[in-house]
């Protein structure tokens, strides 16, 4: 994952319109080129200290933004001399950083964050193979080791029952953690060396995640019936497709980013068929000369309550949005 030491950084806003050319590869693999309107706008930047390496963000019940600052960029691991990471909290109402929470000694570096319904913050720590928790009320930390050694717990999502689901990036599994019983269960992917990355949960409780390895490049679903299904993105491999983060839109369709390919993908659930790429469309947005390079890396993605799909390109220094319809 490619990072800057400025949170919310952007030079251009891309408002993507769904007027474009549809290219077909075979009969069921679609790439849609979307025309973009580049809008000059004022973007505020809020620096964090150099070397913080900001990763995941989430918001609390007060609307404050929490940012994971591991202090390293795992590739695939951070040095064992890297000190424990921290969370910084930003208040949009005052446009200011309001507090910083440093992880205790014996903890590692957080990458992604999520709050449960009780306002407890959860975070995986791949460098010490554990799931961490921070209780804002008692100001206490706890962590639990993942059973599989070297699993690399990466991204996480919390279901409606408060169960913590996470990807195991290094051992080709997803994990489930019950915060009440403190028990784990793990599910292996059918594909070897799949390197699960992003994870999300749909409105029916099905768990969706990306299989990040370019030689696998699949979207996977672990259903409420305990079935693990896999969906192709393309019918052939070009060596560059690395699905990253993943989300669900208000219609229940699945969206993900595709890394250095510089595209985002959508799976329409009504057309989806495991083992195929039925219902998949990839959207390629126009590229500009980036702030750091002429390459592209699409990573973050989210859908707002109005159905706008938002994504960012860290190497282009841009973010974009367009309607999920």
DSSP code, position 64 = P
Average pLDDT, the chain: 88
Number of H helices and E strands in the chain, helices first, is 0, 27
Alpha-carbon span 81 to 32, nearest angstrom: 45
Q: Are 169 and 163 in contact (CB under 8 A)?
A: no
- Look at the domain 6-323 and name its fold: Methylamine Dehydrogenase; Chain H (2.130.10)
Residue 26 has a pLDDT of 33
Residue 39, SS3? strand
Q: Are 108 and 81 in contact (CB under 8 A)?
A: no
Q: Which two tokens stand for residue 29?
A: 């693999």
Query: Rounded mean pLDDT of 139-159?
Result: 98
The fraction of the chain above a pLDDT of 90, given in percent, is 70
DSSP code, position 181 = T
Q: How confident is the model at residue 185 (pLDDT cuts 50, 70, 90)?
A: very high
Q: Which sequence spans correspond to the domains of the chain? A: 6-323
Give the residue, 64 or 4, on which the prediction is more confident. Answer: 64
Q: How confident is the model at residue 8 (pLDDT cuts 50, 70, 90)?
A: very low
Which of 42, 36, 39, 44 lies closest to 17, judged by CA?
36
Alpha-carbon span 88 to 35, nearest angstrom: 37
Residue 303 has a pLDDT of 95
Alpha-carbon span 247 to 121, nearest angstrom: 19
* Contacting residues for 300 by C-beta, under 8 A, at least 6 apart: 245, 257, 310, 311, 312
CA 21 remoteness from chain centre = 28
Cα end-to-end span (Å), the chain: 29
Residue 10 has a pLDDT of 33
CA 163 remoteness from chain centre = 18
Weakest-pLDDT range from 191-200, 205-214, 305-314: 305-314
Kindly report the CA angle at 120 between 114 and 124, in degrees rounded to 5? 45
Query: Rounded mean pLDDT of 280-292?
Result: 81
3-state helix, strand, coil in the chain (%, to 5): 0, 45, 55
Query: Rounded mean pLDDT of 280-305?
Result: 85
Consecutive H or E run containing 124: strand 121-125
Which of 32, 27, 29 lies closest to 234, judged by CA?
29
Query: Rounded mean pLDDT of 89-115?
Result: 96
Residue 75's CB: how many other CB atoms inside 10 A?
Answer: 7
Q: Are 196 and 169 in contact (CB under 8 A)?
A: yes
Q: Are 150 and 170 in contact (CB under 8 A)?
A: yes
Check whether 45 has a pLDDT greater than 60: yes
Residue 28 has a pLDDT of 44
Which residue in the block uniquely carries the two structure tokens 């600052």?
A: 69
The fraction of the chain above a pLDDT of 70, given in percent, is 86
Query: Rounded mean pLDDT of 233-250?
Result: 92
Check whether 1 has a pLDDT greater than 70: no
Query: Rounded mean pLDDT of 65-70?
Result: 97
Alpha-carbon span 266 to 271, nearest angstrom: 11
């Amino acid at each position: 994952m490619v990072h800057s030491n400025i949170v919310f950084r952007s030079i251009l806003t891309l408002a993507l319109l769904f007027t474009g050319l549809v290219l077909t590869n075979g009969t069921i693999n679609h790439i849609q080129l979307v025309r973009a309107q580049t809008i000059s706008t004022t973007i505020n930047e809020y620096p964090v200290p150099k070397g913080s390496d900001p990763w995941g963000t989430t918001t609390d019940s007060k609307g404050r933004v929490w940012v994971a600052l591991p202090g390293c960029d795992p590739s695939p691991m951070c040095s064992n001399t890297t000190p424990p990471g921290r969370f910084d909290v930003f208040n949009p109402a005052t446009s200011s950083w309001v507090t910083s929470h440093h992880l205790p000694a014996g903890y590692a570096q957080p990458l992604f964050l999520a709050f449960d319904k009780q306002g407890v913050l959860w975070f995986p720590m791949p460098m010490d193979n554990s799931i961490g928790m921070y209780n804002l009320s008692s100001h206490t930390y706890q962590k639990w080791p993942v059973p599989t050694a070297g699993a690399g717990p990466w991204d996480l999502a919390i279901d409606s029952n408060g169960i913590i689901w996470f990807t195991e990036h290094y051992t080709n599994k997803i994990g489930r953690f019950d915060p009440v019983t403190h028990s784990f269960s793990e599910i292996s992917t059918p594909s070897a060396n799949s390197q699960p990355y992003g994870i999300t949960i749909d409105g029916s409780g099905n768990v969706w995640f990306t299989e990040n390895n370019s030689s696998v490049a699949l979207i996977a679903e672990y259903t409420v019936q305990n079935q693990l299904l896999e969906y192709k993105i393309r019918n052939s491999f070009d060596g560059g497709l690395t699905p990253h983060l993943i989300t669900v839109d208000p219609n229940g369709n699945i969206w993900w980013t595709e890394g250095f390919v510089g595209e985002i993908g959508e799976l329409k659930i009504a057309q989806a068929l495991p083992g195929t790429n039925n219902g998949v469309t990839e959207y390629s947005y126009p590229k500009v000369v980036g702030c750091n390079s002429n390459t592209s890396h699409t990573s973050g993605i989210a859908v707002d309550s109005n159905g706008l799909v938002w994504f960012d390109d860290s190497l282009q220094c841009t973010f974009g949005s367009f309607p999920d319809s």
